[in-house]
Structure 1
Amino acid sequence: MELNGRGRGKVLYGLLTVILLMVTLLAGCSNAGGKNESDKGNAAKDQGNAEQSGKPVTLKFTFWGSPQEKAAIEKATQAFTDKYPNIKVDAIHIPEADYDAKITAMVAGNEAPDLGYMHGELADPWQKDGKFVNMFELLDADKDLKRSDFLDYIWFKSSEDFAYGISTAGETFGLFYNKDLFDEAKVNYPPAKPEMAWSWDEFVKVAQQLTLDKNGKNAADPGFDPDNIKQFGVSFETWHGPVHAAVINNEGEWVTKDGKFGFSQPEAAEAIQRLADLINVYHVAPSPVQMKSIPSQAVALQSKLAAMSMHGQWINLDLGAAKVNYDIGVLPKMKRSVPMGISGASVIYTSSKHREEAWLLTKFLENPEGAIDLYKGGLWMPTMTKWYTDPGLVAKWAENNPAHPSGFKDAMMNNLLNNGVPNGSYYIKNFSKVNAITFSGMDEVWLGKKTALEAMKELEAKIQPEIRGRYDVSP
């Protein structure tokens, strides 16, 4: 899922400011009692009715994603209707850059979807306002599934008993690379096993060898021209996903467990600075300005504008479809190399008149058995544990296809299962404001005008009053 992942959620600061204002205006007319609207005692009965009823129902389902993702989702929702002929799905694709604004407008106009994708930035304030059904209530009443069937981290929770969303998919970051460019430079491929991860210094040296100017000199050569680069050694995006993944690998935190702004502390600031140095010191990565001319990380690798990309597994869909000669390594090591779990949330709106049918669709999409192309095609990784541990099930989606090259299992699948830690969107309270303010202060870091420590220290006074703590820490 191209993000800016999904959760995949990369949203410009100015757009978020507008959205947050709209959310505030919507608060007065929301269903504040939505969290208590469901009756757990009737949930199982209602689910059975949804499966057995022949009454025609149309679900409005909203989602974002690349053209390949759009096609994959439409195919999956049609397969759902084939299984449940009385339930049709109006699958509404919205470009991710416009998603939050359009969903906000739909809700304001009493045209909310029944279910769909949701960025963490918008999900947190809306769940406080009672806009989403408790997934745990539906799951606990389900005759087929239980909580232990899923990976631990994948729930968006406001408490131990209330999950306002489930990860749309299992997703994480890795080091994608174009094998042809490594072969041309006679450079060894990145390791896929986490215990063999490159050190940060080793990674930088490889990126220098793979960065070429218009005269064919690499970034370590005398006379290298940093103003005329035709091939970058590595690329990355500057939204919270890739940045927080780096911070986690340097054992830093975004919001500490005692409620402090963690990005201004040494471990986090050092990780952010290392990313900025790839752009401004080593000249091996494009700046945000240069990235504007590159449509996506998948295109950067496919078109050989970059040899490596620190990005999310959802680009397997685009790389596999384009038959790029690529593979995946584990992220370079700072103090450690662990995979950060990330995803957009899948939610069901309390305003839906068809929440039982919406739960059926949610289950269908979360279970690779019913929507195998979404997984086999490289877009998603499962949220259900058995699809990582049962060899027969693994073979159905993660083997013998172009979207899952040889390094995938070690660098992503097994790594996420055994070592995954959650992104801050799962547990940071008031995430929308914390994210918006934090990344409003990053621009000068990427431009080399301020160090990460300077920029984040300057933000402390502004952001600390907006920090409300973490959902994973008891009051």
Structure 2
Amino acid sequence: MDKTRKRLLKLSTVILAAVIALAGCGGGGNSGNSASPKNEPANKETSTPAGGTENKEPVTLKYTFWGSPQEKKAVEEATKKFTEKYPWITVNAIHIPESDYDAKITAMVAANETPDAGYVHGELGEAWQKEGKFINFNDMFAKDTEMKKEDFLDYIWFNGDDPNYTWGISTAGETFGLFYNKDLFAAAGVETPPAKAEEAWDWDQFVEVAKKLTIDKNGKNATDPGFDKDNIKQFGVSFENWYGPIMAHVVNNGGDLVSADGTKFALDQPEAVEAVQKLADLINVHHVAPNPVQAKSIPSQAVALQSKLVAMSMHGQWINLDLGAAKVNYDVGVLPKMKRTVAMGISGVSAMFKATKHPEETWLLTKYLADPSGALNLYRDGLWMPTLKKWYTDPALVAQWAENNPAHPSGFKDAFLNNLLNNNTPSPVYYVKNFGKVSSMAFSALDPVWLGKQTAEQAMKGVVSKVQPEIQGRYGK
């Protein structure tokens, strides 16, 4: 899933999938458990929908999505439960490989076989929303008596040029933190990372800890005389260089991808350049993180922590799924502080298609899948965080997914749950127009920086003249 997420958010510019926070993008391996009585959500609705079902005309909805085998199973479980609640509605859940998704869904639309709802890659979604291909969430909320927009986290909406046109919603609540192997910290006698944002390490503290946890083949760490930087067996930290992890630090340093007024490329500005350079220095100056060549021989971030190839990973919360399933002795802290420490919200997008012949039933499905109780295993097993606020604030609901399970260690509530609820800022995927083109050009230009061949300032100054013509503004709230 970690691999799928990275490719998804990076390739498609990372707007991944959906609000339909459904049982979407990735589920835990025990999705069947959520159907057992002892695991049923306390707030599960059991009553028959108002008006009864006996006079309802049968309806079939087409829902398209991508994802791992676990995700596929979870989506199918969730849509099955939805049909049990609304027996006149059948959901045809169509799993499409992520690499083929845009081509196949475009062909479906061209053939007048448009799905009723589903995942949409960001670049394609942005183009289609300009053509009015999606149902406006605001219109549906205006007619709904059970759920309102204010029930959700505030940053999760994808808006069009008209700020009253909300065409998509985040699949899940997602952000970045500092994962670490507790055994390696114990072996080094090093204090573990703080989980609370107000106690976050500053950057120098973080680098010093990473040095103590970087071990060469002779057992020396990066603070020892004679440390062999060319033969490292354990890195202190690792991070991926797609836009998500990098922007998590850029926004913490007060930078952005485009200027606040939406007129200028901003990754070449001092705040952004400084953040990127600090990350590159972990590789090329401090030698505590693998370079891109070394990283190719390292498995996923979760496996790297599990196999003790790295002591810390600055990564997205979704790797809790793999770490928990593998029963790794790990915990999580907040990212080290630059000028501030905030949780940058990120996710993919899902939408409802205006071509549907059944908008009310499509809305019922969307609402159902936006509530974790419809696919609790996705949250409990570590892949997703909710988009509904009550699942962060109601102790009984929090207990159902974020407590007493291996995918949510002791630091999770402070580092992720509370931080995302109370201390969030949106990633550029939510507000930068032409995001796909802008981000692709900007972040590919950083490749020489990670290899130590250019500084961040040189790379960004070299690409600004190419990116600037692609800047088209920002979407409003």
TM-score, normalised on structure 2?
0.86
SS at match of 2:10: coil
Pairing 1:347–2:371 present: no
CA distance in 2, matches of 1:81, 1:131: 26
1:65: how far off?
Answer: 3.5
| Superposition map of 1:219-234 within 5 A | 219-234=222-237
Pairing 1:441–2:445 present: yes
Q: Which deviates further from its counterpart, 290-299 or 385-394?
A: 290-299
CA distance in 1, matches of 2:289, 2:173: 27
1:107: how far off?
Answer: 4.0
Q: Which deviates further from its counterpart, 295-304 or 234-243?
A: 295-304
Question: Judging changes above 3 Å, is the alpha-carbon distance between structure 1 residues 128 and 444 closer, same or farther for their aligned structure 2 residues?
Answer: same
Q: Which deviates further from its counterpart, 369-378 or 321-330?
A: 369-378
CA distance in 2, matches of 1:375, 1:452: 37
CA distance in 2, matches of 1:410, 1:197: 11
AA of the residue aligned to 2:394:
D
Maintained 8 Å contact 2:12/2:436: no
Q: Which deviates further from its counterpart, 224-233 or 439-448?
A: 224-233
Question: Judging changes above 3 Å, is the alpha-carbon distance between structure 1 residues 196 and 445 closer, same or farther for their aligned structure 2 residues?
Answer: same
**1:101-126 per-position Cα deviation (integer Å, ceiling 9, x unaligned):** 55445545555433222233332222
1:372: how far off?
Answer: 1.7
**1:79-113 per-position Cα deviation (integer Å, ceiling 9, x unaligned):** 22222233333334445455445544554555543
Maintained 8 Å contact 2:158/2:166: yes
Q: Out of 239, 253, 271, which is 1:267 matched to?
A: 271
| Superposition map of 1:33-48 within 5 A | none
CA distance in 2, matches of 1:307, 1:376: 25
Q: Which deviates further from its counterpart, 97-106 or 75-84?
A: 97-106
1:6: how far off?
Answer: 7.2
Maintained 8 Å contact 2:434/2:472: yes
Question: Judging changes above 3 Å, is the alpha-carbon distance between structure 1 residues 422 and 393 closer, same or farther for their aligned structure 2 residues?
Answer: same
Maintained 8 Å contact 1:250/1:335: yes
Query: What's the counterpart of residue 39 of structure 1?
Result: none
Maintained 8 Å contact 1:3/1:96: no
Pairing 1:457–2:452 present: no
Maintained 8 Å contact 1:69/1:379: no
Pairing 1:152–2:145 present: no
Query: What's the counterpart of residue 342 of structure 2?
Result: 338
AA of the residue aligned to 1:431:
F
Query: What's the counterpart of residue 120 of structure 1?
Result: 122
SS at match of 2:158: strand
Question: Judging changes above 3 Å, is the alpha-carbon distance between structure 1 residues 294 and 90 closer, same or farther for their aligned structure 2 residues?
Answer: farther
Question: Judging changes above 3 Å, is the alpha-carbon distance between structure 1 residues 186 and 348 closer, same or farther for their aligned structure 2 residues?
Answer: same
AA of the residue aligned to 2:427:
N
Say what the alpha-carbon RMSD is for the aligned residues. 2.6
| Superposition map of 1:284-299 within 5 A | 284-299=288-303
Question: Judging changes above 3 Å, is the alpha-carbon distance between structure 1 residues 275 and 390 closer, same or farther for their aligned structure 2 residues?
Answer: same
CA distance in 2, matches of 1:116, 1:151: 20
Q: Which deviates further from its counterpart, 407-416 or 315-324?
A: 315-324
| Superposition map of 1:57-206 within 5 A | 57-108=59-110, 110-158=112-160, 159-206=162-209
Question: Judging changes above 3 Å, is the alpha-carbon distance between structure 1 residues 470 and 138 closer, same or farther for their aligned structure 2 residues?
Answer: same
1:177: how far off?
Answer: 1.0
Q: Out of 244, 247, 259, which is 2:247 matched to?
A: 244
CA distance in 2, matches of 1:225, 1:418: 43
SS at match of 1:133: coil
Query: What's the counterpart of residue 309 of structure 2?
Result: 305
**1:116-146 per-position Cα deviation (integer Å, ceiling 9, x unaligned):** 2223333222211222221111222122111
Pairing 1:389–2:386 present: no
Question: Judging changes above 3 Å, is the alpha-carbon distance between structure 1 residues 52 and 311 closer, same or farther for their aligned structure 2 residues?
Answer: farther
Maintained 8 Å contact 1:173/1:312: yes
CA distance in 2, matches of 1:165, 1:49: 29
For structure 2, list consecutive stretches of 5 or more residues without a partner in the other structure. 16-48
Maintained 8 Å contact 1:8/1:171: no
Q: Out of 208, 212, 215, which is 2:215 matched to?
A: 212
1:244: how far off?
Answer: 0.8
AA of the residue aligned to 1:223:
G
1:156: how far off?
Answer: 0.5
Question: Judging changes above 3 Å, is the alpha-carbon distance between structure 1 residues 182 and 166 closer, same or farther for their aligned structure 2 residues?
Answer: same
CA distance in 2, matches of 1:392, 1:81: 26
CA distance in 1, matches of 2:339, 2:425: 15
Query: What's the counterpart of residue 2 of structure 1?
Result: 2
TM-score, normalised on structure 1?
0.86
1:264: how far off?
Answer: 0.3
Maintained 8 Å contact 2:6/2:242: no
1:377: how far off?
Answer: 1.6
**1:199-246 per-position Cα deviation (integer Å, ceiling 9, x unaligned):** 111111111222222332222223333333222211111111111111
SS at match of 1:293: coil
**1:166-222 per-position Cα deviation (integer Å, ceiling 9, x unaligned):** 111111111111111211222111100011101111111111222222332222223
AA of the residue aligned to 1:151:
L
The ranges of structure 1 where at least 4 consecutive aligned residues each deviate by more than 6 angstroms after the TM superposition are 47-53
CA distance in 2, matches of 1:174, 1:292: 22
CA distance in 2, matches of 1:4, 1:210: 29
Pairing 1:318–2:322 present: yes
CA distance in 2, matches of 1:89, 1:292: 40
Question: Judging changes above 3 Å, is the alpha-carbon distance between structure 1 residues 264 and 405 closer, same or farther for their aligned structure 2 residues?
Answer: same
Pairing 1:11–2:11 present: yes
Question: Judging changes above 3 Å, is the alpha-carbon distance between structure 1 residues 56 and 238 closer, same or farther for their aligned structure 2 residues?
Answer: farther
AA of the residue aligned to 1:417:
L
Identical counterparts, % of pairs: 66
**1:29-86 per-position Cα deviation (integer Å, ceiling 9, x unaligned):** xxxxxxxxxxxxxxxxxx9899776444443333334443333333222222222233
CA distance in 2, matches of 1:212, 1:291: 16
Report how many aligned residue pairs link the two structures: 442
SS at match of 2:267: helix
CA distance in 1, matches of 2:208, 2:195: 18
For structure 1, list consecutive stretches of 5 or more residues without a partner in the other structure. 17-46
Q: Which deviates further from its counterpart, 190-199 or 445-454?
A: 445-454
CA distance in 2, matches of 1:416, 1:427: 18
1:154: how far off?
Answer: 0.8
